[in-house]
Amino acid sequence: MNLFSGIAYLFHIIFYQPLLNALILLYVFVAGRDFGVAIILLTIFIRLLLYPLMAESIRVQKVTNELQPKIKEIQEKYKHNKEQQATLHLQLLKDHNVNLFNSFFATLIQLPILVALYQVFINGLHAGVLVQLYSFVPNPDAIDPVFLHIIDLSKPNVGLVLAAGILQFFQSKMFYPAPGTSGGTGQSKTSPMPSAMQKQILYVLPVATVLIFWNFPAALSLYWVITSACAIVQQKIIFKKLALMTK
């Protein structure tokens, strides 16, 4: 077994298989054998489980965005002194309790779980994966792909794809308020990011989301809709806490 095969095997055992079994357990015992409801429940559970890590990533991203005017000011003032520029930049982040390494680690550790969820939802409709169930998980023999007796999650669904793109837009927009607002923490009266970058994030990312999910099974679109909705709620909670801390 080479290194790549070993990593793939560990990923399968540690992340993919437990999530697959959790999905089937929810499908059989909680969701009334509605695959869509099972996806929603598992997505919410994972979002809650990862909330502490996500909260740190969101906080750092929000604060860093709002510090952009000050960072740009430092860059312009000390453009001929890179060492001083770097020192003041790091000090500014430290003063606002921003640790980029911790934020990167918090984001990195979420990736295997998110990738595993993606694979579980796209493969969960295939009867062949049911042989990977634990002995205590009942085998449903087959998965009914129809969500709420209306949407076939095994096929692309335009409505869910568009909903995923729209929610992605609002999730991103929360980080970048309109010019002249304080952005939730009251630290800046200017737009925290250059307009071109804002437009790229606000419009290109949702469009990319729609294009990516357009031909995928609706199960993945439903997952993205729920995870984006959860992210919006969690971001509102975190932003509110940040606003209270700055008062």
- The mean pLDDT of 119-131, rounded to a whole number, is 82
Contacts of residue 223, defined as CB under 8 A and 6 or more positions apart, other chains included, come to: 39, 43, 117, 118, 121
Mean of pLDDT values over 154-169: 95
> How many angstroms separate the CA atoms of 150 and 145, rounded?
10
The yes-or-no verdict on residue 40 having pLDDT over 50 is: yes
Write down the pLDDT at residue 246: 66
Task: Read off the pLDDT band of 37 (50, 70, 90).
Answer: very high
Domain that holds residue 222: 3-245
How far is CA 1 from each of CA 6, 7, 89, 132, rounded to the nearest angstrom? Answer: 6, 10, 46, 21
- pLDDT band for 184, please (50, 70, 90 cuts): very low
Contact 89, 26 (CB under 8 A): no
Please compute the mean of the pLDDT values over residues 19-28 and round it to a whole number.
94
Instruction: Tell me: pLDDT of 183 over 60.
Output: no
Residue 182 has pLDDT above 50, yes or no: no
Among residues of the chain, what percentage have pLDDT more than 70? 88
- Output the pLDDT for position 27: 95
The one-letter code for the residue type at 80 is: H
Q: How many domains does the chain have?
A: 1
| pTM for the predicted model, two decimal places | 0.82
- Inform me whether the pLDDT recorded for 107 exceeds 90: no
